[in-house]
Each structure stands twice: as structure tokens, then as C-alpha cells.
């Protein structure tokens, strides 16, 4: 049976470990030590590594892990410079993890970084720092329209798709979302549930695409209250989806 567990690292990162009773794949190992601890405690062997983008909190563990588990495949974005990669991936590529009996489709989702990719398979999406529960990543290397197009791609996935993002930012994201869309009842309900999860020290992730569509302001450039909030900040009547997204993203940057 396949299990997917979050290994907490740093302040608020989750390193996702996909495993059966013998072997494991880790997604975005920003740090090696907590991964090795988990593998040791559970008698697991690392069989492969998946990386979504080049930021240190996602690849910092690669030198140690590839030394400890020499020869394992290290999958990552074709468009980014990451020394330890053995397989460079882009939109449309498919990878298989034979030890787990899983395969993933690769999606290009630039914006947070220029070459950011996501992995989609078996109803699970590993999307790094692009889509967060209730929010989205900062736009560092790409453009705002690029980021919106990447999020539109994720928004169009089946509603039941589980969203495994790389950070526990949910409560801060929902606080902002409520400022954007104070009258969204699904958002209010979500905030109550996620606050309860955090109070019990449980992760708020994985989330679901359907819940993100209903409550995440960065996927809701066509929702009336989000459009109205953006127009208020833009100070003009017309607001294209890119303008709405940009206004909301810039607002969040200084929230």
C-alpha cells in the first residue's frame, strides 16, 4: 500500500515522502537529515528523488542524499540548473517509479521560478511552491500572466485531485483570502476547519483542487468579489483576469 507522509523541515516546509513498506521516493528534499531519520525509523530505502524547482529549501538535501544512496534517479526541471539531476523533465514527459508502481505526468508551471514543474499521478499533484493551500507562491522569476496560466492549468485538473504543496502557509493565506473575499461562506468554513487542524498540530495539507477553486483567491480571478477587490486597488473599471490576478498577488506581497 502506498502512503504519502509529510516530513516537516525548517520553519514550515513539508518534504513529501511517498512509500510502501520497503521503498520510498522523496519530493523536494530541502534537508537530508529529517528524511534519513524517517527512512531509518521505518526501515525504508530511498529509491528516487523528485524536485519541482531550484530553491534551496527544496534541493538542499540533494548532496547528502545522493551520496548516501548513490545511483538513484533524481528527477527535476529541464529548465533549471540543479547539479544532481539525472533526468531533466518538461511538460508532457512521463516518469515511472517502478518500486512504487506509480507513474507521473510532468506539467510546466513557470512563475515562482522560470522552470518550475509539477508531478501529477494517481490523483495526486505535487506542485512545490506554485499552488499553496489557500494561496500561491511569490512570482520571482516568471511574469504574472505566466503564473496565472500555470495556476489555470492546475485549476482545470479534476476536483478530487489532492494538492501536496511544499509549505504550511495555510492559515496566513486564508486570513488574506478573507480580506479579499469576506462573504465567501466556503472560505469561512475552511478557515474554521484548518484552524482546528493547526490547533491539533495536524497539517492542513494535502488540500483538494475543488476546495482551492472554491476558496483560493489566486484561482478566483473571475469571482465577483475578487474582481471587485482588484478593481478597487487598480482604481479603474476594466479588469482582465491577468490584471485581477496581478492586483491580488501584489496586495498579498504587502499584506
Residues that bind Fe ion (CB under 5 A): 57, 129
Active site residue 42: no
Active site residue 129: yes
Catalytic residue (one of 28, 57, 194, 214): 57
Residues 6 or more apart whose CB falls under 8 angstroms from that of 110 comprise 79, 116, 141, 142, 146, 147, 150
Closer to Zn ion by CB, 55 or 249: give it: 55
- E strand or H helix that includes residue 25: strand 23-27
Q: How many CB atoms sit inside 10 A of residue 18's CB?
A: 26
Closer to Fe ion by CB, 53 or 124: give it: 53
- The single residue listed with the C-alpha cell 512570482 is 139
Closer to Fe ion by CB, 57 or 194: give it: 57
Q: How far is the CB of 53 from Zn ion (least distance, A)?
A: 6
Residues of the shown chain interacting with Zn ion in the complex, contacts defined by CB under 5 A:
55, 129
Catalytic residue (one of 108, 167, 194, 214): 167
Catalytic residue (one of 19, 54, 112, 116): 112
Cα gap 141→63, rounded to integer Å: 25
Cα gap 220→186, rounded to integer Å: 13
- E strand or H helix that includes residue 228: helix 224-234
Based on its alpha-carbon atoms, the radius of gyration of the chain, rounded to whole angstroms, reads: 18
Q: How far is the CB of 58 from Zn ion (least distance, A)?
A: 6
Q: How far is the CB of 71 from Fe ion (least distance, A)?
A: 27
Q: Say which entry of Fe ion, Zn ion, none residue 220 contacts (CB below 5 to 8 A, set by partner kind).
A: none
Closer to Fe ion by CB, 129 or 243: give it: 129
- The single residue listed with the C-alpha cell 500561491 is 136
Closer to Zn ion by CB, 10 or 69: give it: 10
Measured CA to CA in angstroms, residue 180 lies from 116, 126, 148, 195, 228 at distances of: 27, 26, 17, 19, 9
Quick one: cell of 92?
508532457
The sign of the dihedral angle between the CA atoms of 146, 152, 157, 159 is positive
Q: How far is the CB of 73 from Fe ion (least distance, A)?
A: 22
Active site residue 99: no
Catalytic residue (one of 19, 28, 31, 53): 53
Q: How far is the CB of 168 from Zn ion (least distance, A)?
A: 14
Closest CA to 127 of 111, 142, 140, 141: 111
List active site positions.
53, 55, 57-58, 112, 129, 167
Amino acid at each position: 500500500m502506498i502512503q504519502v507522509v509529510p516530513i516537516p523541515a525548517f520553519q514550515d516546509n513539508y518534504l513529501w515522502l511517498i512509500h510502501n513498506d520497503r521503498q520510498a521516493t522523496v519530493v523536494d528534499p530541502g534537508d537530508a537529515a529529517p528524511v534519513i531519520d524517517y527512512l531509518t525509523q521505518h526501515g525504508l530505502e530511498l529509491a528516487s528523488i523528485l524536485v519541482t524547482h531550484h530553491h534551496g529549501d527544496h534541493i538542499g538535501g540533494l548532496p547528502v542524499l545522493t551520496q548516501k544512496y548513490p545511483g538513484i534517479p533524481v528527477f527535476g526541471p529541464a529548465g533549471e540548473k540543479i547539479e544532481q539531476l539525472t533526468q531533466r523533465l518538461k511538460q508532457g514527459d512521463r516518469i515511472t517509479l517502478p518500486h512504487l508502481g506509480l507513474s507521473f505526468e510532468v506539467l510546466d508551471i513557470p512563475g515562482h521560478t522560470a522552470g518550475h514543474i509539477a508531478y501529477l499521478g494517481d490523483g495526486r499533484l505535487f506542485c512545490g511552491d506554485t499552488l499553496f493551500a489557500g494561496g500561491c507562491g511569490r512570482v520571482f522569476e516568471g511574469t504574472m500572466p505566466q503564473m496565472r496560466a500555470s495556476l489555470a492549468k492546475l485549476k482545470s485538473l479534476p476536483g478530487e485531485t489532492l494538492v501536496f504543496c511544499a509549505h504550511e502557509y495555510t492559515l496566513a493565506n486564508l486570513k488574506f483570502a478573507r480580506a479579499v473575499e469576506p462573504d465567501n461562506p466556503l472560505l469561512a468554513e475552511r478557515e474554521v476547519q484548518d484552524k482546528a487542524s493547526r490547533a491539533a498540530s495536524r497539517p492542513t495539507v494535502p488540500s483538494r483542487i475543488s476546495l482551492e477553486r472554491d476558496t483560493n483567491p489566486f484561482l478566483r480571478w473571475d469571482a465577483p468579489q475578487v474582481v471587485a477587490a482588484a478593481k478597487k486597488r487598480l482604481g479603474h473599471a476594466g479588469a482582465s483576469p491577468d490584471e485581477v490576478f496581478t492586483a491580488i498577488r501584489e496586495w498579498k506581497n504587502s499584506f
